[in-house]
Structures are given as structure tokens and as C-alpha cells.
């Protein structure tokens, strides 16, 4: 594998970890009776940004991906 691809793979892994953390924070903020909608919107936006980043990274690996979030 070429060094550039190794770097992209590392970035993909890091981006997936960021998505996992955003999911954890979303679950945390949704567990309360009085939900902090502002926090949830911020983490949903952050997650969407990471998903876009992941799609771009996948293109660098010659993979065309159309990711969607689940509720």
C-alpha cells in the first residue's frame, strides 16, 4: 500500500471514531427528561460534518459512498 493510502486509512479511522463519539454524546443528551435541543442540534451538525468528511476520504480510496444518518 502507498503511504498516501495509509494516511487516508488513518484519517478514515479517526473520522469514524469522531462519529462514534458524536453518537455517544447524542445518546447522553437525549436521555434527560428536559432535553437540551441546542446541544442535540450541535452534535447532529457535528456528526453530519464528520459524515461528509468520511465520504470525501472514501473518494480518495476510489469508493463512492452516499452515507445517511439513522434517527
CA separation for the pair 20, 26 (Å, rounded): 10
pLDDT in tens for each of the 71 residues of the chain? 666 778 999 999 999 999 999 999 999 999 999 999 999 999 999 999 999 999 999 999 999 988 887 76
Three cell numbers, residue 26? 447524542
Burial state string for 27-52 with b = 16 or more CB within 10 A and e = fewer than 16: eebeeeeeeeeeeeeebeebbeebbe
pLDDT number for residue 7: 93
pLDDT number for residue 70: 76
Q: Can you give the residue ranges of every domain in the chain?
A: 3-60
pTM of structure:
0.88
Amino acid at each position: 500500500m502507498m503511504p498516501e493510502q495509509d494516511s487516508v486509512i488513518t484519517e478514515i479511522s479517526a473520522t469514524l471514531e469522531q462519529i462514534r463519539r458524536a453518537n455517544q454524546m447524542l445518546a447522553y443528551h437525549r436521555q434527560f427528561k428536559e432535553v437540551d435541543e441546542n446541544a442535540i442540534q450541535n452534535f447532529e451538525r457535528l456528526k453530519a460534518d464528520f459524515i461528509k468528511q468520511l465520504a470525501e476520504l472514501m473518494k480518495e480510496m476510489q469508493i463512492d459512498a452516499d452515507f445517511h444518518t439513522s434517527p
